[in-house]
Amino acid sequence: MGDQESNEQSGENPSRYVDRGLPPRTLDWPGPDPLVLRALTAAWEDGSWGKYDGPWTRQLAASLSAWYGGAEAYLCCSGTIAVELALRGVGVQPRDEVILAGYDFPGNFRAVEAIGATPVLVDLLPDTWSINPDEVRAAIGPEVRAIIVSHLHGDVARVREIKEICRPNDIAVVEDVCQCPGATLDGEPLGSIGDAAVWSFGGSKLLTAGRGGAVVSRRPEVMQRIRVYSERGNQAFPISELQACVLVPQWSELAERNRRRARAVQFLAEQLTTLHCLIRSRSDPGVEIGPAFYKLGWFCGRSPESSLDRDAFSQAARAEGVALDPGFRGFATRSGRRCRKVSGLVQSRRAAEQTLLLHHPVLLGSDDELRQVALAIERAARRLQIDRLP
C-alpha cells in the first residue's frame, strides 16, 4: 500500500476538517515529537542529513532486520515502489499473473501492471477486509507467480492458510503490512510468514517521514533481485538520510503507541455499541493478534434497525471535526482487459460501497478526547436521523 492517497481513498489531511470542539491533537498528524526534534538536531550537527548513506539509514534497516529476526531490509522511496520491488524480488515477470483482493489499495494493482504482469482478482471473506483463501485456491493457474496479501483497516488476513495453499504451487506470498507496522500474529511479527513484507513510511502512516518504504525478506535471492533492479550506479529509488533520521526515534515509540491505539479502539467500541449502523469486521477466532490501527474500519450496515448512506454520514462526521472517510474504490469494476476476475467479487463490492475509516491520530487521545469523538460520531448519526437500538 503506497503513500499518496486521494480523499476518496481516505488520505485527506484531517486538519482541513471543520473543528467543532475536538482537541487539535485529535486532528493533526504527525504531532510534535521531542525525540524527532532531537534526532533532526543531531543530523544537522554531524552533517549526516546531506549524505547518500549514513548512520540513520543503517540504523533504520537494522531495526527492521531485528524485528524480523535477522531478515534483510531494503529501504526505498515509497510503499508503492516497495510493492513493485517485492514482486520483482520474488521473480514476477511480464505476462505472469499476480493474485490480489478485489478490494485493496490502488497502487498494488498498478504495481502488478508496472511489471507487465496481470492482476488476478479474488474476493474477501464475508464481513472483513481480508482476502478469501478459498478464492485463492480457485484462482491458481499455470501463470500465477505471486499473491499480495494486504492486512487492512485493523484486520489480519489468514496469511498462514494462504501460504499453505501457495507453497505446493510455488507461488510467492508478498505481505503488505503498510497499514499495520509493529503488529503481530500469534506473537510473531506480521509480515514474517510471507516471502517478503512491504512497509510504508508515507505522510499519514503510523511511522511517517512524508515518504519512504521498505522491503524485508529472509530469502537472499529475493533481495539480490531487488538490488540488481534498483542499483544503477546508485540506488534508483532511495530513502534519504533525513527521512530515516525522523523514523528512527518513532520506531522506539511504536510499540507503546500501538498499545494505546488498541485500547482506544476498544474504548470507542464500548462508547458506540448502540450505534447499530456501524459494524466492525468479524475477527478470526483462534489466533492471537497484536493489532496496529492505521485506519479503524467499519461497515455501514443496512438492517431493520438502522440504515445509513455511507457518503452522507462521512460528510456529516467531517462537519463534526472527525476524520471519518470512505474506503478504497476497489477493483470490482475494472475492465476484464486489465485483469482476470475469479468471481463476482460480491464482498469486494460491498467493501467499496460500505467501508468507513477513522484516521488514527484520534486513537492517541485521552479518554475524554475519545469520548468527544464518539459523541461527534453520534451527532453525525442523529443529523441523518439514524435509528439507534434501545
Rounded Cα–Cα distance for residues 9 and 85 (Å): 23
In 125-279, where do the E strands start and end? 144-150, 172-176, 184-185, 188-189, 196-200, 213-217, 278-279
Task: For residue 161, give the C-alpha cell.
Answer: 492458510
List pLDDT tens digits, range 296-321.
999 987 554 556 789 999 999 999 98
Residue 14 domain-assigned?
yes
What pLDDT shows up at residue 390?
A: 42
Q: Are strands 355-359 and 324-326 parallel, antiparallel or unpaired?
A: antiparallel
Residue 351 domain-assigned?
yes
Claim to verify: residue 19 and residue 80 sit in the same structural domain? no
Burial of 304 (0-12, 13-18, 19+ CB in 10 A): exposed
Residue 189 domain-assigned?
yes
Confidence of residue 287 (pLDDT cuts 50, 70, 90): confident
Percent of the chain scored above 70 by pLDDT? Answer: 89
What pLDDT shows up at residue 96?
A: 98
Query: Looking at the predicted structure, is the pLDDT value of residue 216 above 60?
Result: yes
Query: Looking at the predicted structure, is the pLDDT value of residue 94 above 60?
Result: yes
What pLDDT shows up at residue 302?
A: 59
What pLDDT shows up at residue 369?
A: 92
Candidate from 132-141, 211-220, 312-321 with smallest mean pLDDT? 312-321
Query: Looking at the predicted structure, is the pLDDT value of residue 41 above 90?
Result: yes
Rounded Cα–Cα distance for residues 290 and 287 (Å): 10
Claim to verify: residue 130 and residue 192 sit in the same structural domain? yes
Where among 226, 248, 270 does a domain terminate? 248
Query: Looking at the predicted structure, is the pLDDT value of residue 277 above 90?
Result: no
- Of 101, 109, 82, 87, the C-alpha closest to 172 is 87
Residue 276 domain-assigned?
yes
Claim to verify: residue 48 and residue 173 sit in the same structural domain? yes
Candidate from 182-191, 343-352, 380-389 with smallest mean pLDDT? 380-389
Claim to verify: residue 272 and residue 314 sit in the same structural domain? yes
Query: Looking at the predicted structure, is the pLDDT value of residue 8 above 70?
Result: no
Query: Looking at the predicted structure, is the pLDDT value of residue 10 above 50?
Result: no
List pLDDT tens digits, range 157-184.
999 999 999 999 999 999 999 999 999 9
Residue 156's domain is classified under what CATH number?
3.40.640.10
Residue 1 domain-assigned?
no
What pLDDT shows up at residue 285?
A: 61
What pLDDT shows up at residue 185?
A: 95
Residue 359's domain is classified under what CATH number?
3.90.1150.10
Task: For residue 281, give the C-alpha cell.
Answer: 469486521
Fill in the amino acid letter for 119. Answer: P
Query: Looking at the predicted structure, is the pLDDT value of residue 11 above 90?
Result: no
Confidence of residue 384 (pLDDT cuts 50, 70, 90): confident
Claim to verify: residue 240 and residue 260 sit in the same structural domain? no
Claim to verify: residue 58 and residue 114 sit in the same structural domain? yes
Instruction: Give residues with Cβ within 8 angstroms of 274, minimum separation 6.
Output: 388, 389
Are 77 and 212 contacting, i.e. CB atoms less than 8 angstroms apart?
A: yes
- Of 171, 224, 169, 178, the C-alpha closest to 197 is 178
Claim to verify: residue 301 and residue 223 sit in the same structural domain? no
Claim to verify: residue 226 and residue 165 sit in the same structural domain? yes
Taking residue 306's Cβ as centre, other Cβ atoms within 10 Å add up to: 17
Rounded Cα–Cα distance for residues 174 and 185 (Å): 16
Show the domain range for 300. Answer: 7-32+254-383
| Mean pLDDT estimate for the chain | 90
Q: Which residue has the higher pLDDT, 188 or 285?
A: 188
Query: Looking at the predicted structure, is the pLDDT value of residue 14 above 60?
Result: no
Claim to verify: residue 174 and residue 305 sit in the same structural domain? no
Confidence of residue 23 (pLDDT cuts 50, 70, 90): low
Domain count, the chain: 2
Confidence of residue 386 (pLDDT cuts 50, 70, 90): low
Candidate from 94-103, 259-268, 280-289, 371-380 with smallest mean pLDDT? 280-289
Q: What phi, psi does 374 have (nearest 5°)?
A: -60, -40
List pLDDT tens digits, range 321-340.
898 999 999 999 999 999 99
Rounded Cα–Cα distance for residues 144 and 26 (Å): 44
Residue 148 domain-assigned?
yes
3-state SS of 117-128 is: CEEEEECECCCC
List pLDDT tens digits, range 109-121.
999 999 999 999 9
Percent of the chain scored above 90 by pLDDT? Answer: 82
DSSP string, 73-109: EEEES-HHHHHHHHHHHTT--TT-EEEEESSS-HHHH
- The shares of helix, strand and coil residues in the chain, as percent rounded to the nearest 5, are 40, 15, 40
Distance of CA 284 to the CA centre of its chain: 18
Residue 209 domain-assigned?
yes
Where among 230, 248, 266 does a domain terminate? 248
Claim to verify: residue 122 and residue 201 sit in the same structural domain? yes
Instruction: Give residues with Cβ within 8 angstroms of 51, minimum separation 6.
Output: 241
| Cα Rg of the chain, angstroms | 21
Rounded Cα–Cα distance for residues 159 and 164 (Å): 9
Rounded Cα–Cα distance for residues 58 and 89 (Å): 21
Query: Looking at the predicted structure, is the pLDDT value of residue 54 above 60?
Result: yes
Rounded Cα–Cα distance for residues 79 and 77 (Å): 7
What pLDDT shows up at residue 63?
A: 97
Claim to verify: residue 113 and residue 227 sit in the same structural domain? yes
Place of cell 520474488: 90
Task: For residue 299, give the C-alpha cell.
Answer: 461497515
Residue 38 domain-assigned?
yes
Rounded Cα–Cα distance for residues 266 and 262 (Å): 6
Rounded Cα–Cα distance for residues 111 and 150 (Å): 14
Where among 201, 230, 248 does a domain terminate? 248
Q: Which residue has the higher pLDDT, 55 or 390?
A: 55
What pLDDT shows up at residue 17?
A: 42
List 121's β-bridge partners, or say none: 100, 341
Claim to verify: residue 238 and residue 283 sit in the same structural domain? no
What pLDDT shows up at residue 280?
A: 87
